[in-house]
């Protein structure tokens, strides 16, 4: 039996376990079970407080290099066993930033992001935009975030993640987008980013770092027989 915790941060959902046998399961079958469906699978050893050995897998089974909201959930678990943890902080280092053609911006947060500002966020076909962007840059190894300025320090965001699809929230995507917004709006040092899953507060920390705050929630703690998912 594999023991796990299911959590979410602004709707970005995770299965967290220390049992590596889960990687032998069919990810497709796992995600057909509503109690096990996830955006990312996180394999975390209980004695790894620094998360240096954290293993991250996307919904389609591909490995991911980073997962800010997932790390935020683990941080909340390590801080205690409260079902809901508020204002859990995370800091993201921006490794590279480059303005590209047609209003696109490339941001490296260890995960690779393409960010652009949208005039009509709600009606944008994000999957189609992701595919067109991938063809344009000849790559599918990136996440696409689009954002819209609502008023003052308030923005809305949508993100399409490689290996997952559109998610209700994305920690590294929000951090990358916040970095772009701060670059374009130097008078701002704090913004409120609203996704379909909830609100994230982002701050300028240094010239190359973004600090963010968001809530996490434990959805379920349980176990399952891995043999049913081979």
Backbone dihedral angles phi then psi of residue 10, each to the nearest 5 degrees: 55, 40
Does 6 share its domain with 65? yes
Query: Do residue 33 and residue 98 come from a single domain?
Result: no
- Segment 109-113 shows an average pLDDT of 96
| 124 — pLDDT class (breaks 50, 70, 90) | confident
For residues 119-124, give the mean pLDDT: 88
pLDDT band for position 80 (cuts 50, 70, 90): confident
pLDDT reported for residue 122: 87
Tell whether 80 and 52 lie within a shared domain.
Answer: yes
Domain, as residue range, for 162: 90-214
Which structure tokens are listed for 169? Answer: 């929230």
Residue 40 confidence (pLDDT) above 90: yes
**Mean pLDDT in residue range 19-28:** 97
Q: What is the mean pLDDT of the chain?
A: 95
Checking DSSP bridges between strand 112-117 and strand 105-108, what pairing results, if any?
Answer: antiparallel
Question: Could you say which DSSP state residue 121 is in?
Answer: T
98 and 70, same domain (yes or no): no
Query: For residue 59, with 0-12 CB atoms within 10 Å meaning exposed, 13-18 middle and 19 or more buried, which class applies?
Result: buried
Read off the CATH number of the domain in which 102 is found.
3.10.310.10
Residues 205 and 223 in one domain: no
Q: What pLDDT, on a 0 to 100 scale, did the predictor assign at position 137? A: 86
Do 103 and 156 have their domain in common?
yes
The answer to whether residues 81 and 133 belong to one domain is no
Q: Which DSSP helix (H) or strand (E) runs through 217?
A: strand 209-224
- Are 202 and 100 in a shared domain? yes
Residues 35 and 137 grouped into a single domain: no
Same domain, 83 and 106: no
For 176-224, what is each residue's pLDDT tens digit? 999 999 999 999 999 999 999 999 999 998 899 999 999 999 999 999 9
At residue 132, the pLDDT reads 93
Number of domains the chain contains: 2
pTM: 0.95
Q: What DSSP line would sit under 148-188, residue for residue?
A: EEEETTEEEEEEEETTTEEES--HHHHHHHHHHHHHH-TT-
**Please, what is the end-to-end C-alpha distance for the chain in angstroms?**
13
- Looking at the structure, do residues 32 and 97 belong to the same domain, yes or no? no
Q: Are 104 and 118 in contact (CB under 8 A)?
A: no
Confidence band, pLDDT 50/70/90 cuts, at residue 136: confident
> Which of 35-44, 73-82, 145-154, 173-182 is the least confident region?
73-82
Q: Are residues 10 and 81 in the same domain?
A: yes
What pLDDT score was predicted for residue 82?
Answer: 85
Host H or E run for residue 71: helix 68-79
Task: Give me the CATH number covering residue 75.
Answer: 3.10.310
**Per-residue confidence band for 61, with pLDDT thresholds at 50, 70 and 90:** very high
The pLDDT of residue 106 is: 97
Instruction: Tell me the percentage of the chain whose pLDDT exceeds 70.
Output: 100
Q: Which H or E run includes 79?
A: helix 68-79
Residue 138 reports pLDDT greater than 90 = no
């Amino acid at each position: 039996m594999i023991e796990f915790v299911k959590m979410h941060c602004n709707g970005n959902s995770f299965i967290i376990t220390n049992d590596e046998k889960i990687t032998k399961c069919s990810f497709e079958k796992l995600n057909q079970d509503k109690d096990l469906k996830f955006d990312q699978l996180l394999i975390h050893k209980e004695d790894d407080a620094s998360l240096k050995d954290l293993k991250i897998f996307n919904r389609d089974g591909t490995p991911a290099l980073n997962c800010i909201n997932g790390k935020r959930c683990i941080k909340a678990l390590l801080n205690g066993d409260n079902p809901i943890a508020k204002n859990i902080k995370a800091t993201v280092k921006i490794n590279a930033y480059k303005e590209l053609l047609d209003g696109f911006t490339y941001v490296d947060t260890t995960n690779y992001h393409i960010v652009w500002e949208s005039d009509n966020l709600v009606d944008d076909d994000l999957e189609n935009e992701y595919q067109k962007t991938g063809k344009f840059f000849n790559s599918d190894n990136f996440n696409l975030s689009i954002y819209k300025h609502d008023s003052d320090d308030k923005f809305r965001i949508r993100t399409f993640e490689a290996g997952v699809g559109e998610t209700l929230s994305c920690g590294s995507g929000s951090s990358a987008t916040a970095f772009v917004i701060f670059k374009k709006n130097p008078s701002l040092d704090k913004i409120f980013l609203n996704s379909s899953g909830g609100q994230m507060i982002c701050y300028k920390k240094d010239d190359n770092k973004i600090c963010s705050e968001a809530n996490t929630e434990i959805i379920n703690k349980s176990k399952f027989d891995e043999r049913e998912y081979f």
